[in-house]
């Protein structure tokens, strides 16, 4: 019924789901941002889903598709309400200017809090005095009892942040959270991305993927150097960023992945007609040493995702992977299907 080839990692197909037009966040530089979007919205991004080895199913789309103002089951519907607003706690907070791209973890034990890590910054500049061209910068944390009302948690760094750019590493200019995995023993692993002083055409663009660990979600320690870097002349030569990671206990039932760590990320290429966005994947035995498997989903050439695939989320459903992704159409800088 389905193809189960050895190049399974590359076997993504776009689904025919009608879901689109999730209004959210906005910045000039298209597909980016976000998962749940927290801040004010000025452009439209679109989400659709792709599925691998499993046919399109309306029910799965419906049950997974975020609605404007994303909310857990039982949440009030209606106009989207921001869950966290920049500057609400005053200009001294680390994310007084923008709060974006949250990674949300439901309680891991009954009665525990919902936790969220997200990135943002307080001003127009990144570290080293560079002018920012993405909403990244620093990383912080928020908590909630019900997934609806959130409060910022004060991290140990200036302004209450949890993770800052390094002094002189690959990530010395800006950082952003990609995913957070809770290990069976409770330790948290954050897969983040960051840019440093190298990169063309702009410093900060050559983003790489790193790991930080924490026991409480607030104090984070970097675990060595970058785990994944842009490669030479390949499709991901410009940057590798926005990682999403499935640990082995979630890939157990997925044919071809079972027992492995699975990461997706995205990159972009400058072409004659502007930027094109492509998602890639990597596999690992331990979550630390990764080998790339190449591009998994790129520009469709037409329609709502004509220019490629940006920030995405992958989950396991009935032994198959399902991807929700954000994408730009060809019509404008920001994606739209309408």
Ligand X SMILES: *[C@@H]1O[C@H](CO)[C@@H](O)[C@H](O)[C@H]1NC(C)=O
Residue nearest to ligand X (CB): 185
CB 243, min distance to ligand X, A: 18
CB 37, min distance to ligand X, A: 32
CB 187, min distance to ligand X, A: 4
Nearest alpha carbon to residue 261 among 250, 276, 270: 250
Ranges within 299-338 binding ligand X (CB under 6 A): none
CB 278, min distance to ligand X, A: 31
Cβ proximity to ligand X, 43 vs 188, nearer residue: 188
42 touches ligand X by CB under 6 A: no
**DSSP tag of 67:** P
Binding pattern to ligand X, positions 162-201, x when CB under 6 A?
Answer: ---------------------x-x-x--------------
**DSSP tag of 223:** -
Which uninterrupted H or E stretch holds 42?
Answer: none
CB 183, min distance to ligand X, A: 5
**Long-range contacts from 269-277, C-beta under 8 angstroms, 24+ separation:** 269/235, 269/237, 269/238, 270/238, 274/307, 275/30, 275/307, 275/308, 276/307, 276/308, 277/31, 277/307, 277/308, 277/309, 277/310, 277/327, 277/328
Tokens of 39: 């801040």
Binding pattern to ligand X, positions 8-37, x when CB under 6 A?
Answer: ------------------------------
Cβ proximity to ligand X, 215 vs 234, nearer residue: 215
Tell me the C-alpha distance between 161 and 170, whole Å: 19
- How many angstroms from the chain centroid is the CA of residue 138? 15
Tokens of 99: 């709060």
Cβ proximity to ligand X, 183 vs 237, nearer residue: 183
Cβ proximity to ligand X, 247 vs 256, nearer residue: 247
Please state, in angstroms and as integers, the Cα–Cα distance from residue 18 to each residue in 8, 15, 178, 299, 327, following that order: 25, 9, 26, 18, 14
Size of the site for ligand X (CB under 6 A): 4
On whether the CB atoms of residues 241 and 311 are closer than 8 A, the answer is no
Binding pattern to ligand X, positions 208-247, x when CB under 6 A?
Answer: -------x--------------------------------
CB 284, min distance to ligand X, A: 13
Cβ proximity to ligand X, 23 vs 250, nearer residue: 250
**DSSP tag of 265:** E
* Binding site residues, ligand X, CB under 6 A: 183, 185, 187, 215
């Amino acid at each position: 019924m389905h193809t189960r080839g050895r190049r399974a990692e590359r076997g993504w197909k776009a689904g025919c789901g009608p879901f689109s037009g999730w209004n959210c966040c906005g910045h000039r530089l298209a597909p980016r941002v976000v998962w749940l979007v927290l801040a004010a919205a000025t452009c439209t991004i679109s989400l659709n889903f792709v599925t691998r080895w499993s046919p399109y199913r309306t029910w799965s789309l419906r049950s997974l598709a975020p609605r404007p103002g994303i909310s857990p089951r039982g949440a009030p519907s209606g106009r989207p309400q921001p869950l966290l607003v920049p500057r609400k706690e005053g200009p001294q907070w680390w994310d007084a200017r923008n709060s974006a791209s949250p990674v949300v973890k439901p309680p891991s034990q009954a009665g525990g809090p919902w936790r969220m890590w997200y990135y943002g910054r307080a001003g127009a500049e990144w570290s080293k005095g560079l002018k920012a061209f993405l909403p990244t910068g620093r990383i912080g944390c928020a908590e909630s009892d019900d997934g609806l009302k959130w409060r910022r948690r004060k991290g140990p760094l200036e302004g209450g942040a949890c993770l800052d750019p390094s002094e002189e590493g690959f990530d010395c200019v800006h950082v952003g959270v990609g995913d957070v995995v809770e290990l069976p023993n409770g330790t948290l692993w954050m897969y983040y991305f960051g840019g440093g002083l190298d990169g063309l055409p702009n410093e900060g663009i050559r983003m790489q993927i790193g790991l930080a660990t924490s026991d409480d979600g607030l104090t984070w320690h970097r675990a060595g150097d970058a785990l994944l870097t842009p490669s030479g002349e390949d499709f991901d030569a410009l940057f590798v960023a926005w990682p999403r990671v499935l640990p082995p206990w979630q890939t157990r039932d997925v044919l071809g992945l079972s027992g492995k760590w699975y990461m997706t990320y995205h990159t972009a290429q400058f072409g004659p007609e502007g930027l094109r966005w492509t998602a890639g994947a990597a596999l690992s035995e331990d979550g630390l040493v990764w080998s790339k498997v190449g591009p998994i989903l790129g520009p469709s050439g037409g329609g709502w995702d004509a220019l490629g695939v940006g920030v995405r989320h992958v989950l396991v459903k009935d032994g198959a992977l399902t991807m929700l992704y954000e994408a730009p159409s060809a019509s404008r800088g920001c994606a739209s299907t309408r």
